[in-house]
Amino acid sequence: MEFTASTIAGFLNGVVDGNPDTVVHTVAKIEEGKPGALSFLANPKYEPYIYTTKSSIVLVNRKFVPSEKVSATLIRVDDAYEAFTSLLRLVEPRRPARSGVHP
């Protein structure tokens, strides 16, 4: 998986707030973010992490207004949680169930 902020925003009908050429290749919890990772902020109790995360891109709700400077590129979407799960479905397609008998 390797996507730019612009590509992700296009898939999610989102708006890039920051560098549209920012690239991510993995996902991470916002509190465990690292460069090259995509995270999301949906629950307000996790807002403090958006100011310290090392994630390169963070999905946020359209109405999110940061109270401090954010270093990550933001992608504004209608529902950050739903957008994140949509991306996971895209990059992690369902694997076929194994056949056989479960012990």
Pairing of strands 57-61, 73-77: parallel
Q: For position 100, what pLDDT does the model report?
A: 59
pLDDT of residue 97: 58
Q: What is the pLDDT of residues 34-74, one digit of tens each?
A: 999 999 999 999 999 999 999 999 999 999 999 999 999 99
* Whether the Cβ atoms of residue 31 and residue 49 lie closer than 8 Å to each other: yes
Each residue's pLDDT tens digit, 13-36: 999 999 999 999 999 999 999 999
Assign 98 a pLDDT band (cuts: 50, 70, 90). Answer: low
Task: State the CATH architecture for 3-91.
Answer: 3-Layer(aba) Sandwich (3.40)
Task: Flag whether the pTM goes above 0.85.
Answer: yes
Map out the domains of the chain as residue ranges: 3-91
| Contacts for 83 with CB less than 8 Å, ≥ 6 apart | 12, 14, 40, 59, 75, 77
